[in-house]
Amino acid sequence: MSEILQKLESLDESLPEAPEHVANYLGCKRTGSLLFVSARVSEARGEVGIDLNLEQAQTAAKDTALLLLAIVKNEIGDLDQIKGVVKMNGFVRSSIDFTRQPLVIDGASGLLIALWGDEGKHARTATGTSQLPFGAAIQLEMILELKETQG
């Protein structure tokens, strides 16, 4: 078992099945040592601040990060090929008066830091929005740095 999967297990977490793509795009696109991971939405639906509280939204963000990692694993085969996280963009479907989007996206950031330590720390956007695809509460996308391969 890979080191990252062992860390996930120690956190009592696991990867979901990687979903099929529902539109005309790639799940991941590699250029050099960077892997751009397309945005995916949470299974949680509704507005944070109305339908979901902060804790529920943080869990939804963490679960969405796990979904992205499942897509990455499906694409590159082994999460141990990831050197670290460069950037994450997070969107939170929020009620008009909800202003704690950074705390919501901390649910995902905390997971990445737990898995990769200092290399899991990343640049980030945490934006509130009035709507997301399919009525989802959270949408995340990431840029990852891959380890150099011996060739």
User: Pairing relation of β-strands 34-41 and 138-146?
Assistant: antiparallel
Answering whether pTM is above 0.85, one says yes
Domain boundaries, given as residue ranges, for the chain? 3-18+39-146
DSSP classification of residue 60:
H
5-47 pLDDT per residue, tens: 999 999 999 999 998 877 899 999 999 999 999 999 999 999 9
The encoded tokens of residue 99 equal: 């202003």
- Which of the following CATH numbers is that of domain 3-18+39-146: 1.10.540.10, 1.20.140.10, 3.30.1330.40, 3.40.50.280? 3.30.1330.40
| DSSP-derived secondary structure for 29-52 | EEETTEEEEEEEE-S-BS-BTTTB
Closest by Cα among 42, 125, 110, 122 to 82: 122
Continuous segment of H or E residues that includes residue 141: strand 138-146
